[in-house]
Amino acid sequence: MFEALVPFVVAAVGITVLCVACSRFRIVVPTNDVHVVQHAAKTLSYGKDQQGGNVYYHWPAWIPHYGVRVTTLPSSVFSLRLADYPAYDKGRVPFLLDVLGFFRITDFSTASSRVNDEDDLKDQLEGILKGAMRAILASSEIEEILEGRSQFGERFTEEVSKQLTQWGVDTVKAIELMDIRDAENSKVIANIMAKKSSLIERQSRVEVADNMQIAKVAEIEANQTVLVRAQQQEEIVGIRTAEREQLVGIRRQQAAQEVAVEEAKTAQNNMAVQQVETVRQAEITRDAQVVAAEQAKQVTIIAAEASRQRQIAEAQGQLESQRMAAEARQLTGAAEGAAEQAVLMAPVNSQIALAKEIGENQGYQQYLLRLKEIEAGQAVGIEAAAALGKADVKVVATTGQPMDGVKSVMDLMTPKGATQLGAALESLAQTPIGEKISSILRPNGSGNA
């Protein structure tokens, strides 16, 4: 059974070894680099935006058919600086240079065929740059180089660019000539600078002297101009002052005259205004008096008319009051008459109705008559007794029985007694004694009792 598993174990071990080898030799190219890979049959560049992509397998070169060789080059811009580089001018004057250039690889296949790595590329570019500088600087004077540094930088760039195409490299910007100075034990540039400095100083001093002279002359001329201008100013000021005083005096006189004229006009206008006010006040007073008289007249007329209307109204009111009083009395009389008639007729009607009822019943008539007589006698007796109790009446009975006298006194309370009493008094008045009594009883002796 173990022998049956051996092929599978060998296959698994082989796959594992292959996976480890693949992960070990798998290369991902960095962003700023380009790997130029030389295969058995072709050469490809790997990196950002390269034809082979960004990933490859770096198999060792000793592996047949699959082994590769790799050259690593920068894809970004790189710089190359020459510091303290000794050079000579056309007259073999020594000096030192500082030069700075910026480059980039445009053809990685060409560059990889020329160099082994980035350092090798920079060494070769430095040689090209030195050769171009020697060729150009040796044909020019030191003063020309010092004065035309930017022009020499452009000439360096042009000369180097012609050779860089064979290395697949190009310049990014113009090569800059950073600094030029004297070599050891040489003072050529210092002397040139001293000469330039002295020349500049001489020119400066000449210019300063000229400027000072010009300034002094300008100052003198300015002072002269100022003095002349001051005198002219004083003259102009004097003239202007006199003219101003003259004008002021004239203006004052004119102003005084104008004031007097205006005062006269003002007085005249004031008098005219006062006259107008007086006339207007008189007219106002007259109109006020006319209005007051008219008002008094209208008030009198209105008062008279109001009095007349009031009298007419009062008369009409009295007449209407009398008419209404008469109508009220007429209505009241009619109502009282009707009421009195109704009052008088009520017992009559009831008596008529009762009499009609009684008239048809003789026995009942007798009974009622007797009952009324008894009630009347009883009432008369009670009232007579009460009246006699209150009245100071002395009864002199001339009859044989006292009750007959009392009965005669009771007759005084009846119509019959009153009639008899009046007749007795009339008979007494006919006598001398009765006449005296009557005169005494008449009030104020008028004879009317």
pLDDT for the residue numbered 66: 75
**Rounded CA Rg of the chain:** 86
Q: What percent of the residues of the chain are helix, what percent strand, and what percent coil, each to the nearest 5? A: 70, 10, 15
pLDDT at 441: 65
The pTM of the full predicted model, rounded to 2 decimals, is 0.37
pLDDT for 348 equals 67
The pLDDT assigned to 395 comes to 52
Q: In sequence order, what are the beta bridge partners of 81?
A: 100
Show me where the domains of the chain are located: 23-72, 77-186
What distance in Å separates the CA atoms of residue 134 and residue 160, rounded to the nearest whole number? 12
Query: Tens digit of pLDDT per residue, the chain (449 long)?
Result: 556 666 666 677 677 766 666 667 777 778 778 888 877 777 778 887 777 777 877 777 777 777 788 888 888 888 888 888 888 777 778 888 888 888 888 888 888 878 888 888 888 888 888 888 888 887 777 777 777 777 878 888 888 888 888 888 888 888 888 877 877 777 777 677 677 777 777 778 888 888 888 888 888 888 888 888 888 888 888 888 888 888 888 888 888 888 888 888 888 888 888 888 888 888 888 888 888 888 888 888 888 888 888 888 787 878 887 888 778 788 877 777 777 777 777 776 767 766 676 667 677 667 777 777 777 767 766 766 666 566 555 555 455 554 555 555 555 556 566 666 666 667 766 777 767 776 776 665 444 44
Pairwise CA distance, residues 56 & 21, whole Å:
13
Tell me the C-alpha to C-alpha distance, in Å, between residue 14 and each of 18, 20, 57, 145, 182: 6, 10, 18, 70, 70
Best CATH choice for the domain 77-186 from the list 3.20.20.100, 3.40.140.10, 3.30.479.30, 3.30.70.260:
3.30.479.30
